[in-house]
Amino acid sequence: MTSEAPKPVTELPVLAQVLGRIPSGVFIVAVAGPAGRRTGLLASWVQQASFAPPQVTIAVNKSRWFIDWLTPGTSVVLNQIQKGDPILFRHFGKGFEPESDAFAGVESHPGES
């Protein structure tokens, strides 16, 4: 009996089918920072991590300034942008400086987490 190592999927139609099963979308990640500050960022790398407790994984470039705000206990809210909503995509896609309110000019409602 011989055992062969699995072959990598290299055929594009098969690879596309596998990749198509990964959920996708564009999201706004709202982050509460120090001294009541808040920001929002556009994220496309979001994945479910657990059902119980409900958890998601969000990929954030470690060179982004708000990474310092993402510490244990930080309030984070994830909102999926409706497909075809160019206003929110453009607004949050431009990025914000730490002293800027990312939600200025955008209808938003504070919530509890």
Which domains does the chain carry? 23-93 (2.30.110.10)
Prior bond of 53 cis (ω within 30°): yes
Residue with tokens 């979001």: 46
Write down the pLDDT at residue 4.
67
Contact 39, 102 (CB under 8 A): yes
Contacts with 51 (C-beta within 8 Å, 6 or more apart), sequence order: none
Q: What is the pLDDT of residues 44-98, one digit of tens each?
A: 888 888 888 888 888 888 888 988 888 888 888 888 888 878 999 999 988 899 8
Q: pTM (2 decimals)?
A: 0.72
SS3 77: strand
Angle, vertex CA 71, rays to CA 67 and CA 77, nearest 5: 80
